[in-house]
């Protein structure tokens, strides 16, 4: 049995938030002109009214870099102080190098180690936990964690069941080591993660990788776009997000009644309402912006966190619950004391 480590625990705190949303707005009425749908159909089933679409010349790293700059400005840190960059995304600029490498170049963070995390909509919380582990080892003190997506590049605009759901955007946080004895704001208290790969086929982009390269023979079937079984995804999302929330709160020594604000993955208003109901929390204590942005996958939580922060929804000492669910299936939840 190995001897226990004598290294002290290093707590991690979120010291800055930032987000960037592309300028172009695609409304439900706009979508009704290109696919058989309507504003009433989309709103009643999802709660989404519009979403942002990146410009053709914008890559995921461009969105991520803009969010990163704003997070660093919020935190009051320079690019040279950043020692780690993790980008959570399922829409990388290319297979390699990682999108994080492109972000490093664009923001001038020359001292950072950089890589991507792919966990779909749970990616940001996965990346946050990975960054916490780096900080806890003492090898890094300041990290930039980004969730960024250009999901418009994966959408089949003829499939009304998926094209109405997704949008583009990026959010970022700066996290820094904090002494365990110090009451630092933005303290990440706990994180829970889970995966069930037996359900990988329920929500996926089947083509474009080594298992199914895009060829002239299959390109018309749009294999490099999002394929989803909506009912199955909904059922598992509610169950897993609830379990992860309860586990993260228990790990932090808290209960749902202690939570001042829930920031859930912004996929569907019905899922969010179901989570709030099962946690016995009023919707007034749940942050939602999916009506403006739709589902931006790994970007949803950091974008919402930044908007809540800027809007004054987070007070010193507030307990904030972050929870997500995505393709894989993956799920995660974090508890933060602001």
Is the fold of 11-178 the same as that of 187-337? yes
| Contact of 26 with 50, CB cutoff 8 Å | yes
- Contacts with 184 (C-beta within 8 Å, 6 or more apart), sequence order: 11, 13, 178
Domain boundaries, the chain: 11-178, 187-337
pLDDT the model gives residue 20: 98
pLDDT of 2 higher than 80: no
- Residues with a catalytic annotation lie at 121, 265, 295
So what's the pLDDT on residue 266? 98
Beta carbons of 61 and 106 less than 8 angstroms apart: yes
163 Cβ contact list (under 8 Å, min separation 6) = 31, 35, 155, 156, 157
State what percent of residues in the chain have pLDDT above 90.
92
- CATH topology for 11-178? Peroxisomal Thiolase; Chain A, domain 1 (3.40.47)
pLDDT at 215 over 60: yes
Q: Does domain 187-337 have CATH number 1.10.1740.10?
A: no
pLDDT tens for each residue of 264-310: 999 999 999 999 999 999 999 999 999 999 999 999 999 999 999 99
Angle between helices 123-137 and 300-310 (to 10 degrees): 80
Separation between Cα atoms, residue 96 and residue 224, nearest integer Å:
17
CB 327, CB 203: distance < 8 Å: yes
Q: Which two tokens stand for residue 154?
A: 């994966």
Please list the residues that pair with 228 across neighbouring strands.
Answer: 203
Which tokens hold the place of 214?
A: 């895009």
Q: Per residue in 46-97, pLDDT tens?
A: 999 999 999 999 999 999 999 999 999 999 999 999 999 999 999 999 999 9
Q: Residue 66: which H helix or E strand, with range?
A: helix 60-75
Give residue-wise pLDDT tens across range 164-195: 999 999 999 999 998 765 566 799 999 999 99
Q: Can you read off the two tokens belonging to residue 177? A: 């080591």
Predicted local distance difference test score (pLDDT) of residue 178: 85
* pLDDT at 187 (0 to 100): 94
pLDDT score of 138: 78
Q: Are 80 and 111 in contact (CB under 8 A)?
A: yes
């Amino acid at each position: 049995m190995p001897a226990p480590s004598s290294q002290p625990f290093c707590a991690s705190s979120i010291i800055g938030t930032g987000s960037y949303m592309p300028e172009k707005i695609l409304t439900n009425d706009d979508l009704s002109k290109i696919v058989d749908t309507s504003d009433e159909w989309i709103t009643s089933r999802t709660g989404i009214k519009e979403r942002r679409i990146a410009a053709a010349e914008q890559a995921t790293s461009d969105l991520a870099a803009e969010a990163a700059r704003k997070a660093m400005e919020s935190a009051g840190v320079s690019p040279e102080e950043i020692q780690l960059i993790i980008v959570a995304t399922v829409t990388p600029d290319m297979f390699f190098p990682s999108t994080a490498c492109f972000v490093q170049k664009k923001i001038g963070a020359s001292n950072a180690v950089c890589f991507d995390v792919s966990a779909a909509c749970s990616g940001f919380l996965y990346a946050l936990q990975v960054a916490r582990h780096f900080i806890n080892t003492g090898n890094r003190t300041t990290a930039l964690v980004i969730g960024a997506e250009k999901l418009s590049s994966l959408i089949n605009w003829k499939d009304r069941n998926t094209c109405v759901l997704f949008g583009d955007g990026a959010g970022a946080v700066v996290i820094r080591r904090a002494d365990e004895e110090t009451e630092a704001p933005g303290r990440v208290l706990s994180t829970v993660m889970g995966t069930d790969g037996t359900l990988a086929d329920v929500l996926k982009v089947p083509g474009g990788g080594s298992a199914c390269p895009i060829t002239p023979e299959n390109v018309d079937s749009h294999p490099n776009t999002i394929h989803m079984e909506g009912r199955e995804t909904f059922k598992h999302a509610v169950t897993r997000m609830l379990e992860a929330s309860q586990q993260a709160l228990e790990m932090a020594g808290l209960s749902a009644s202690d939570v001042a604000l829930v920031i859930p993955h912004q996929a569907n208003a019905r899922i969010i309402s179901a989570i709030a109901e099962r946690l016995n929390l009023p919707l007034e204590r749940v942050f939602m912006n999916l009506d403006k942005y739709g589902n931006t996958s790994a970007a949803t939580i950091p974008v919402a966190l930044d908007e809540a922060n800027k809007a004054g929804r987070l007070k010193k000492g507030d307990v904030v619950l972050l929870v997500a669910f995505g393709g894989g299936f993956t799920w995660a939840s974090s508890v933060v004391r602001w």
